[in-house]
Structure 1
Amino acid sequence: MSDKRASTIYQVLWNSADILRSKMDATEYKNYLLGIIFYKYLSDTMLYHAAELLEEEPASLKEAQKIYTEAYNDPETREDLIDALMFDFYYTLEPQLTFTALVEEVHKGNFQLEDLAQGFRNIEQSSELYENLFEDVDLYSRKLGSGIQKQNQTIGEIMKELDTLDIAHEGDALGDAYEYLIGQFASASGKKAGEFYTPQPVSRLMTQIVLQGKEDKKGFSVYDPTMGSGSLLLNVKKFTNEPGTVNFFGQELNTSTYNLARMNMVLHNVSAANQHLHNADTLDADWPTEEPTNFDAVLMNPPYSAKWSADKGFLDDSRFSMYGVLAPKSKADFAFLLHGYYHLKDSGVMAIVLPHGVLFRGGAEGKIRKALLENSSIDTVIGLPANIFYNTSIPTTIIVLKKDRDNEDVLFIDASNEFTKGKNQNVLEDKHIDKILETYKKREDVDKFSHAANYDEIEENDFNLNIPRYVDTFEEEEPIDMAALSKEIIDLDKEIEKSEAEISSMIDELAVTDDSKEFIEAAKAVFNHE
């Protein structure tokens, strides 16, 4: 797809957001816009597929709508058509409830919100895959307008804007555009963005780390226990050579964000058989507990230093029991890490983003860190630049863990200066990511950038993994040339003396009156240092 076409998609989506932006903040209007886009995608895809099943080749959505309506209303074709659509898509829509039909009513001035709400219900009730998917789209919210007429008008304007896109034929470009929108919402949402979005450059870096050497593997499985909108998981699809065979496993506590991830999966053409998503508290109860329970890769960007119960009963939980202590109640960072690590295959790779405190804090965290190092579980520690996330400006670290390692060393990479300064956030560009990945692959010492520390060195540091202990980025100041400095001072004094003489001479040449004599004498005294 051309850059011009992709730009058009982004513009249409953002124009749709403009309709709502003045009425509510980004955390609310993203639910409306993303939900309605998804409904149009399901509707458009169904119409074209129905025409294909009927061996027709419509030139437009309107033509596909006509073909579908006629077949749906024909008793001889209706039942078989519905069965085929349900088998392929797990949902159907009545002809009058498709997006195409509803937007036609908008143009005629006859649109009613209840029809769109009924379409939402039909989708949700058709399969577990879509259950409660639109529950955050409150079509009757007063924020859309003070009455039903204004609410109809607001939603109708969004639908007219989106109607300019033939979404079903956009392919991966639509999924990318959806990611773009989620990113824009994250930028506008500030701290709340951390609930649902990991910036794409960080996602790319983590994904390529866990995929290294396995890009051609069929049936690759990836798990994110704090999946947000699913963007971190979906990056695997971008960087594997077998995208159609990837199995995605994800869990999310926030129901709205969980629904966003489900939509994101469908819009990225992930089949129902390959997506396994769960809405629950990752730390409270283990999941998944039925096969498969271990995965080729674990990717995580959990909430930083979140609170959790740290109930003593968790000491008997197989995720945490072997470490003898639990992560502190006030900082669940290691609880998330251990949960993810527990679900990693022996041959797998895990990458998790956490605040730097996990590298050096003592107490229970220090004991867990020491146990992980003694088991050779920690493979690499990467220090990221500050201010690259939407929800925090603090510097963070990617910790890479493995179970089956040949050595006990830990590679430290200080990438804190690898960024380009942006308007609101610092940005990891491709050149920065490539440099980090190349260093990760080679595991070599690079002056002021990386160091592979052996176990003895780490033990000497009392298992403290603070990056500056291993990567010295100190820059010595250039030695001062005292002779040159002395000459510079002498030359400067001569320049000052010359300037003072010139100013004094100019004052002498001025026409002097009795009233100004006192001022001039005082000025001369200043310049002559009297």
Structure 2
Amino acid sequence: MSEDQKRVLEQQLWGIANLLRGKISADDYRDYILGFIFYKYLSEKQYLYANDLLEGEEVTDYAKVTDKETLQAIEEESLLKLGYFLKPTELFSVVAAKGNANTEVQSNYIIDDLKAVLNHIELSTMGTESEDDFNALFEDLDLNSTKIGRTPEARNTIIVQILNHLDQIDFKLKDIDSDVLGDAYEYLIAKFAAGAGKSAGEFYTPQQVSKILAQIVTTGKTKIKSVYDPTCGSGSLLLRVAKEVEVSEFYGQEQNRTTYNLARMNMILHDVHFREFDIKHEDTLEHPKHIDLRFEAVVANPPFSAHWKGDASPLFSTDERFSQYGKLAPKTKADYAFLLHMVHQLADNGIMATVVPHGVLFRGAAEGVIREYLIKELNYLDAVIGLPANIFYGTSIPTCIMVFKKCREKDDSILFIDASGDENFVKEGNQNVLRHQDVEKIIATYRNRTAIDKYSYVATLDELKENDYNLNIPRYVYTFEEEDSIDLNQVATELVSLATDLKANETTIADYCNQLNIKTPF
């Protein structure tokens, strides 16, 4: 599929979202639009797979199959291959068609049917390998909510409208070489994030930042065994890594329940098999779900300076993730708690890249102690990359990327990149945006570890020691422009000339005043 065709699909899906503007709040219609797109995807996937199984049979169209033994056989195969099962009567097109029928014989009321279908998708996975991946997956699609209509009839009208428009869009799932629908889904998530204000950071990292993180952690590799994101949001960072190299396993954890559901949908929509991803719902710092695993690539965009229990809980002091550093991250700034958690999960041959606020680079007290230990005792810090301000939805603060590796040599240097200058981004509306060339420059500079005037610097560990392990980027990358030198003799000559001209003007004005018989102004 061409880029033009992909853009058409994106615009079609966004057009459906626009139909609901003014009728439902943005946060609410996001959940309904994305949820129904996911249902349509599952339905079409089931239909195509069942038709493949029916080749050579008397009935080759799954929508027309009624034989119980045939349906049971398709269900067994579907649960193994797809991880779920939909009956022919539960297909998206069938439910949408009922919504369009409004006659004396047949009502177009489909809410009850739709609830039963979504419930059955989850029930079909009970007791199977995919149970955790589909459990409560549709819980945010509250079809009885008054947010989408005060009466059942009003709600039904909105839902029928959405399904009808979606039913007219071809997802082109037969195009197995294309991740068109997954990309379109990401496009919608980005569009919703752009309008979500402060909450956007909970579920979406801008695409260009994701690309930088993904390319850093895949440096020198064509495939990796596992990638992990402890604050995975919608899963976009994990999926971005898979665009760079072949990934065998995806792991993530997300505290927000709605966003956790979105991440699982996003994985499945990108055709990641249920056996290849493990997304958990829980607070990562308090209840880490993958603590015994180590990952070849770790990427994250944790919440900036979030609150956590810290030293309020004695358990953290003996936690193997934090105990060796001598101090815990402050209760009001969990940045280093997330950093140390990720370092703990990083494999010896892995690379970790995470977005953090600039304060992480230079704040003192406990954070200073932890930072010094990471650099001086462990030598894990590999690079610091300053990003432009106002590139994240929901916050305008400047941020940076910190890169860590456990396999660094003893005398390895630390690379500093300052990509925050005006020449390194463009402004689009209220946001600053990294262009393709800006991303490429960052990646090339990181991989080649080159020093570029006013852009990057390769610092020795001794230099960091001299700066008391303060990582503030201007200490290493000098971006100040020298002002032109001033010739003081020339300035003095000009001042004398101006004084002479001023005296002549005063004499002329005094003469005019005398002629007019008025007082001079000086």
TM over 0.5: yes
1:272-291 residue pairs with structure 2 within 5 A? Answer: 272-290=274-292
Matched with 1:200 is 207
Structure 2 residue 457 is matched with structure 1 residue 454: no
Match of 1:92 among 80, 85, 89: 85
Alignment partners' CA distance in 1, 2:118 and 2:494: 79
Matched with 2:112 is 114
Alignment partners' CA distance in 2, 1:155 and 1:88: 30
**Contact 2:83 2:274 (8 Å CA) reproduced:** no
SS of match in other structure, 2:304? coil
Alignment partners' CA distance in 2, 1:491 and 1:53: 97
SS of match in other structure, 2:139? coil
Q: Which amino acid aligns with 2:295?
A: F
Q: Which amino acid aligns with 2:164?
A: K
Structure 2 residue 443 is matched with structure 1 residue 441: no
Matched with 1:134 is 138
Alignment partners' CA distance in 1, 2:92 and 2:239: 27
Q: Deviations over 1:5-47 (max 9, x none)?
A: 2122112111111122212332222111100000000001111
Structure 2 residue 182 is matched with structure 1 residue 180: no
Matched with 2:128 is none
Matched with 1:150 is 154
Cα distance, 1:195 vs. partner?
Answer: 0.6
Cα distance, 1:94 vs. partner?
Answer: 2.3
Q: Deviations over 1:330-350 (max 9, x none)?
A: 110000000001010111000
**Contact 1:15 1:161 (8 Å CA) reproduced:** no
Q: Deviations over 1:102-142 (max 9, x none)?
A: 11112213242111111110111122121100001111111
1:375-386 residue pairs with structure 2 within 5 A? Answer: 375-386=378-389
Alpha carbons of structure 1 residues 116 and 444: separation in structure 2 relative to 1, 3 Å: same
Matched with 2:478 is 472
Size of the aligned set, in residue pairs, is 499
Q: Deviations over 1:220-273 (max 9, x none)?
A: 310000000000110011111x3xx43100000111100000000011111111
Alignment partners' CA distance in 2, 1:460 and 1:2: 54
SS of match in other structure, 1:436? helix
Matched with 2:167 is 163
**Contact 1:102 1:111 (8 Å CA) reproduced:** no
Q: Which amino acid aligns with 2:154?
A: K
Alpha carbons of structure 1 residues 46 and 461: separation in structure 2 relative to 1, 3 Å: same
Matched with 2:509 is none
Cα distance, 1:149 vs. partner?
Answer: 0.9
Alpha carbons of structure 1 residues 106 and 56: separation in structure 2 relative to 1, 3 Å: farther
* Consecutive unaligned residues in structure 2, runs of 5 or more: 103-107, 126-130, 507-511
Cα distance, 1:444 vs. partner?
Answer: 2.4
SS of match in other structure, 2:162? helix
Structure 2 residue 46 is matched with structure 1 residue 39: no
Q: Deviations over 1:156-198 (max 9, x none)?
A: 1111111121223464111111111101111100110011111
Q: Deviations over 1:24-79 (max 9, x none)?
A: 3322221111000000000011111111111179xxxxxx9x921332x1245222
**Contact 1:320 1:338 (8 Å CA) reproduced:** yes
Alignment partners' CA distance in 2, 1:146 and 1:435: 53
Alpha carbons of structure 1 residues 462 and 77: separation in structure 2 relative to 1, 3 Å: same
SS of match in other structure, 1:431? helix
Percent same amino acid at aligned positions? 48
Matched with 1:60 is none
Matched with 1:369 is 371
Alignment partners' CA distance in 1, 2:275 and 2:396: 38
**Contact 1:353 1:398 (8 Å CA) reproduced:** yes
SS of match in other structure, 1:21? coil
Structure 2 residue 303 is matched with structure 1 residue 297: no
Q: Which TM-score applies when normalising by structure 2?
A: 0.89
Alignment partners' CA distance in 1, 2:56 and 2:95: 23
Q: Which amino acid aligns with 1:84?
A: E
Cα distance, 1:303 vs. partner?
Answer: 0.4
Alignment partners' CA distance in 2, 1:35 and 1:499: 79
Alignment partners' CA distance in 2, 1:181 and 1:339: 31
- The 4+ residue runs of structure 1 with deviation greater than 4 A are 481-500
Matched with 1:61 is none
Which structure has the highest helix share of the two?
1
Q: Which TM-score applies when normalising by structure 1?
A: 0.88
Alpha carbons of structure 1 residues 493 and 372: separation in structure 2 relative to 1, 3 Å: same
Match of 2:226 among 221, 228, 236: 221
Alignment partners' CA distance in 2, 1:498 and 1:9: 76
Q: Deviations over 1:264-310 (max 9, x none)?
A: 001111111110111111000232145xx001111011001101111
Alpha carbons of structure 1 residues 76 and 276: separation in structure 2 relative to 1, 3 Å: closer
**Contact 1:419 1:428 (8 Å CA) reproduced:** yes
1:253-268 residue pairs with structure 2 within 5 A? Answer: 253-268=255-270
Alignment partners' CA distance in 1, 2:16 and 2:501: 65
Alignment partners' CA distance in 2, 1:7 and 1:493: 67
Matched with 2:273 is 271
Alignment partners' CA distance in 1, 2:440 and 2:88: 50
Q: Single out whichever of 156-165 and 188-197 deviates more from structure 2.
A: 156-165
Alignment partners' CA distance in 2, 1:319 and 1:233: 22
**Contact 2:291 2:345 (8 Å CA) reproduced:** no
Match of 2:323 among 321, 330, 333: 321
SS of match in other structure, 1:446? coil
Matched with 1:70 is 64
Alignment partners' CA distance in 2, 1:492 and 1:117: 86
Alignment partners' CA distance in 1, 2:372 and 2:74: 61
SS of match in other structure, 2:61? helix
Q: Single out whichever of 326-335 and 166-175 deviates more from structure 2.
A: 166-175
Q: Deviations over 1:418-441 (max 9, x none)?
A: 211121210011111111111111
Q: Single out whichever of 169-178 and 424-433 deviates more from structure 2.
A: 169-178
**Contact 2:229 2:299 (8 Å CA) reproduced:** yes
Cα distance, 1:488 vs. partner?
Answer: 8.2
Alignment partners' CA distance in 1, 2:498 and 2:240: 61
**Contact 2:181 2:269 (8 Å CA) reproduced:** yes
SS of match in other structure, 2:20? helix
Q: Which amino acid aligns with 1:157?
A: Q
**Contact 1:296 1:349 (8 Å CA) reproduced:** yes
Alignment partners' CA distance in 1, 2:329 and 2:406: 21
Structure 2 residue 27 is matched with structure 1 residue 27: yes
Matched with 1:232 is 237
SS of match in other structure, 1:426? strand
**Contact 2:47 2:63 (8 Å CA) reproduced:** no
